[in-house]
Every structure is written in C-alpha cells, then in structure tokens.
Amino acid sequence: MFSGFMVNTWLAGTVIAILAGVVGFFVVARGASFAAHALPVGAFPGAAAALLLGTSTLGGLVIFTALGVAGITWLGRRARRDIATALALVALLGLGELFLSMTSEYAPEVESLLFGQILGVTSSEVAYLVFLATLCMVAVGVAFRPLLLTSVDEGLGQALGIAPRRGDLIFLAVLGLATAMAVPIVGTLLVFTLMVGPAGAAQLLSPRPTVALVLSTAIAITTVWSAIALSYRSGWPVGFFVGGIAALVYVTARLVTAERSRSPRDTPISQRGQDRHESP
C-alpha cells in the first residue's frame, strides 16, 4: 500500500486534502457551495479547448477558471450571486460543448477529468502540485483576515474597511486556483465533495472559526486517506469512498449537534453565511 506508485498517491491526496479543507472552510462559511461546484465544472471545458489547440490541459483549466472568476465577479455586481454564478457556468459549458464538437480525441479523457486519476500520479505531477498548493496557501495566509471577516460577518468586514466586492474577488481567486490544480488529480466532482463535505461537518461541530478550520482540514485528510486505503484493498473507485465517507461524516456531525440548544453566538458559521446570503 505504501510502495511504488502508491507513494505519489498518498502525497498528492494529502496535499489536495489540506488545500480542500482550508479553502472549503471559506466556501461553507460564505454559503458559496454553488460557486465551488460551478468553477470546477466550468473549468472542465478548458481541457477540451487545450486539446483542440494542442496545448497544456492545466493551462486550459487555469484559463477557463479565470474566465469563470471574472464572469462571476462582473455579473455579481449587477445580479444576485447565485444567478451570476449560474450564468457564468452556462456560458462556459456552452463554449465547452462547442470545443467538444470540434474534436473526437477528447472522449478518453472525460472520465479522468470528471473523477480524477489519483492512482496514476507521477513524481513530477506531485512536485508541481506541491508548488501550486504552496502558492494557494500563501495567498490564503496573506488574505486570511479579510477572507475570514467577510465570510463570518460581512457587516463587520465593511465596518473595518473591507469592501464586500474585494472579499468576493479574493475568495473566488483562491477558489479558482485551488480548483485548477486539483481537477487533474481528483477530478471536478471530487473537488466539490472535498471542499463542502468536511468543512460543512466541521462548522456544525464548532462555531469557532479557527477550530472549525482545523477540523475541516483534519476531516478532509482523514477522508482522503481512508478512501485511498479502502480503494486499494477493495479495487473500487476512490471517488466512491470519498463521496461516501464525506456524506457519512456530515450526517454524523448533524446527529451530534441535533440536540444542542443553540444561542445566537453558537450558531454554526455555515448557517451565518447562509443567512447572510438569503437575507434581502
């Protein structure tokens, strides 16, 4: 289980899990699960464009992710955030369908980009993954205060001079970078699972942002490690175990907190973000 190609699998899985746990904390706190789903799916056609042009798949993913971030940010100034996200996603998928219609060589790569190829990661890919993850974590560290304040309480962020649009742009840029680097390894569907499941469970278990952030990362790492081990032993897809374990952890977290009497200050961070986005 720890020899040969599996070493790269463990390393890549751990890096992706740490990144997903950290970024996912902000995704759930901001009530931005739709954006976390839309950006990986919207970036997916970028691989088709890259293949059509004979360029790097990762380059195509990065460009389409950047287009998605720009589209959501621009449209979000003129419409609700969920509508802006949906419009950006529709536009990107429309371009993706056009690119797919122009080539017949893309079909074999569809499954790997949807569900990832974590069991086939090379040493060079791990090194590149670590480099991009470091950049993303540095960006999170530099922008941690505005990200945290605008995620937990947008009004408090504004009172301290942090414009909501600036907070949204920083968040989407970090989410986009994490998405672009993770899709080739774990696929578009598992990126969304790892960013939402562990973070959602963590923020149910603790209303304190720093504790929830650590819990989110720990749960994501445990989920990935367990999924890799179970996949290796059973021969079943890693994605099945990632999705199943993430769902099980979230349900367990809800059961644990179901009987707690909550005061306003004990409201989970995820609920605060949801209430903020649903309020008129």
Q: What is the pLDDT of residue 280?
A: 46
Q: What is the value of pTM for the model shown?
A: 0.79
Q: Which token pair is 202?
A: 């963590």
What type of residue sits at position 24? G
Q: Are 36 and 192 in contact (CB under 8 A)?
A: yes
Dump pLDDT digits (tens) for 188-245: 777 888 889 999 999 999 988 889 999 999 999 999 999 999 988 898 888 888 889 9
Closest CA to 252 of 190, 200, 189, 192: 200
Q: What is the pLDDT of residue 66?
A: 81
For residue 7, the SS3 value is helix
Quick check: 122 pLDDT over 70? yes
* Per-range mean pLDDT, top range of 4-13, 141-150, 223-232: 223-232
Q: What is the pLDDT of residue 211?
A: 92
Residues written for the chain: 280
Q: What is the pLDDT of residue 61?
A: 79
Q: Are 266 and 147 in contact (CB under 8 A)?
A: no
Q: Which token pair is 71?
A: 């589209």
Average pLDDT, the chain: 79
Q: What is the dihedral of CA 85, 59, 128, 230, to 10 degrees?
A: 60
Q: What is the pLDDT of residue 279?
A: 47
For residue 6, the SS3 value is helix
Distance CA 127, CA 189 (A): 23
Closest CA to 26 of 229, 131, 127, 176: 176
Quick check: 21 pLDDT over 80? yes
Dump pLDDT digits (tens) for 54-111: 776 777 777 878 887 777 777 776 667 778 777 877 787 777 777 777 766 555 566 6
Q: Are 170 and 146 in contact (CB under 8 A)?
A: yes
Q: What is the pLDDT of residue 225?
A: 94
Domain range annotation of the chain: 5-278
CATH T-level fold of 5-278 = ABC transporter involved in vitamin B12 uptake, BtuC (1.10.3470)
Q: Which residues contact 219 (CB under 8 A, 6 or more apart)?
A: 21, 197, 198, 201, 202, 249
Q: What is the pLDDT of residue 107?
A: 54
Closest CA to 187 of 12, 7, 18: 12
